[in-house]
Structure 1
């Protein structure tokens, strides 16, 4: 008695990552979109030269994150005393006490996780855009980048700071530093990058690598 053959994976289907609806794969043309009829999630969105655009956005995000972590985020002046703090200073304000874990987690969520995601994306996309075979462990790197996406909270940090500054402005003179505007630009670029990236196209390129 012979064992039944294992079912072969089907590459003619696509499954919505949000509602698990399955569709017969029909790749749209450039500028078109394949959208889930159940939850309106964009499944495929190929664009011309999207890889180069994403790489350019990723490089810009790396520069903005680095600069935003170093330059002053805001300055507070009370009765002649003035103090400026950077994003890292604010995130690690309680690093010497019992709240060190919270400080490290805050720094990770607003700086290191977004930076890690962008670097992983560059590691995966650069060889694909240059028509070279995928980098070693590229699939695992892209999967990790997607796993970290919900934990990248730079925009939450900006919104929280804006709410806090509204309350503090009645007690002291608050002025925004260069890092605030860099962080605002960073949030916009991250949103644009996520909207431009067609994840199906990346997975398709990784599953059918080109030989060198």
Structure 2
């Protein structure tokens, strides 16, 4: 009797290290060979799986360093100045966080500090630790795979860009009640949003995982 080989049979006999799973629908694929500038999408759910870019790691490192500098700037300088009835009040990101640091509002203060400052900086540090040595032509640092895993897990929780959108909406509502002067920290946050989008566009997680694996990362 003639036997028909199913797709599951072909995957069962394949080298498992060459298989990748779509993170959305778990469809299995052989690791594709796609030229720089191309894209590989899941045939079932159309999720972007791979998007090679020329000199991607170097660009990711440069953008991550830029984002770190912008984050430090955004925290260190005034965010805006409110003027009404001859009174001026400056506010920074730290002032906003500390404004809810009393009583029952302490959890809100901790959440703001974590989601707006701590987690984004932690994710940027993890990305730099995992990718920077490889971008410079060296072997991955010890624990690079774990660092990149942390960066991937923190991605949905690093909400600096959500904060700037919320602030923009609030400024529209408050603008009719007082005179607002936007400080350098606001523009630093706005630039941070753009830099973050560019960085994530260049960062193909699948390629980085395969590169870490090929270079013996731990």
Q: How does 1:160-199 map to 2 (within 5 A)?
A: 160-199=166-205
- Distance (Å, rounded) in 2 between the aligned partners of 1:210 and 1:136: 10
Query: Residue 97 of structure 1: CA displacement?
Result: 2.7
Indicate the residue corresponding to 2:133 in structure 1: 127
Q: Deviations over 1:159-179 (max 9, x none)?
A: 111111111112111121111
Q: Deviations over 1:123-171 (max 9, x none)?
A: 0001111222211111111101100000011111111111111111121
Indicate the residue corresponding to 1:94 in structure 2: 100
Query: Residue 8 of structure 1: CA displacement?
Result: 9.3
1:32 to 27, 38, 41: 38
Indicate the residue corresponding to 2:8 in structure 1: none
- Distance (Å, rounded) in 1 between the aligned partners of 2:79 and 2:92: 5
2:83 to 58, 77, 83: 77
- Distance (Å, rounded) in 2 between the aligned partners of 1:23 and 1:201: 14
Unaligned 5+ runs, structure 2 = 1-12
Indicate the residue corresponding to 1:58 in structure 2: 64
Unaligned 5+ runs, structure 1 = 1-6
Indicate the residue corresponding to 1:3 in structure 2: none
- Larger mean CA deviation between 134-143 and 59-68 belongs to 134-143
SS at match of 2:79: strand
Provide the TM-score with structure 1 as the length reference: 0.92
Indicate the residue corresponding to 1:4 in structure 2: none
Higher percent of residues as helix: 2
Which 4+ residue blocks in structure 1 deviate beyond 4 angstroms?
none
Does the aligned pair in 2 maintain the 1:14–1:22 contact within 8 Å?
A: yes
SS at match of 2:83: strand
State the aligned residue count. Answer: 205
SS at match of 2:104: coil
Is residue 109 of structure 1 aligned with residue 109 of structure 2? no
Does the aligned pair in 2 maintain the 1:75–1:176 contact within 8 Å?
A: yes
Query: Residue 9 of structure 1: CA displacement?
Result: 6.5
Provide the TM-score with structure 2 as the length reference: 0.89
Does the aligned pair in 2 maintain the 1:32–1:45 contact within 8 Å?
A: yes
SS at match of 1:99: helix
- Distance (Å, rounded) in 1 between the aligned partners of 2:122 and 2:14: 35
Is residue 42 of structure 1 aligned with residue 48 of structure 2? yes
Query: Residue 102 of structure 1: CA displacement?
Result: 1.1
SS at match of 1:174: strand
